Chain A
């Protein structure tokens, strides 16, 4: 029987883990900003208040959300009984689905 020992002399896993969070965080940031910009562009404008109300909240480095503090945002997004929906956030987020995947793939491929 032949027996051997394997000893790890260089462990780069902690460094890669650090890169991973930073790179994925950058992809999340870019995606959130694109969704917000898309929602601003798509928002119906009368006073401009709704379009200017879209903002981003980061829960942690790799997670976040876009929101609007405007009380009419939900009514405009989903419509009412007398007003068809004029969605801004949903189409903006849908457009970014594939782009977000590509950003994550690019972030992972860049790990060294």
Chain B
């Protein structure tokens, strides 16, 4: 199983399994893009790059990947999203875990993320972060 799949699985299990976040983000947790008709706020995550760390003989230690993780809401203000983004950070920053198929050694936020755009007349706002996740296969 790819390290990216292991990382995705850990993120989904960690975020979707949290009752507090489920209450704050009724649109749910999704990888890549949200299904049409989703409620807001919702949480999206996606792997966006990374590199492998290896020692002699190309023995791979782990994949050090970057995932964008963000809460997305509808409306002009970031205020309603700040609690969701804070909960995401509480769940992920300095966390680790053992999803099926591998191990997440560390997760740390490298930078916050903020974006806003209008699509089909609807104003969307995003708040979250870029997370560095070191993951290996079992």
Interface residues of A (CB under 8 A from B): 74-75, 77-85, 87, 90-95, 97-98
Interface residues of B (CB under 8 A from A): 32-34, 42, 44, 46, 48-51, 66, 68, 70, 72, 113, 115, 117, 119, 124, 126
For A78, what are the chain B residues with a Cβ–Cβ distance below 8 Å?
48, 68, 70, 113, 115, 126
Counted as pairs of residues, one from A and one from B, with CB atoms less than 8 Å apart, the total is: 55
Measured CB to CB, the closest approach of chain B to A95, in angstroms, equals: 7
Given known A97-B51, A98-B51, contact A84–B72 (CB-CB < 8 A): no
Taken together as a complex, chains A and B put the C-alpha atoms of A91 and B46 apart, in Å, by 13
Given known A87-B48, A94-B49, A94-B51, contact A81–B34 (CB-CB < 8 A): yes
For A93, what are the chain B residues with a Cβ–Cβ distance below 8 Å?
49
Taken together as a complex, chains A and B put the C-alpha atoms of A79 and B34 apart, in Å, by 11
For B117, what are the chain A residues with a Cβ–Cβ distance below 8 Å?
75, 80
A-B contact pairs, 12 of them (CB 8 A): A78-B68, A78-B126, A80-B119, A80-B124, A81-B72, A82-B33, A84-B32, A84-B46, A85-B68, A91-B49, A94-B49, A95-B51
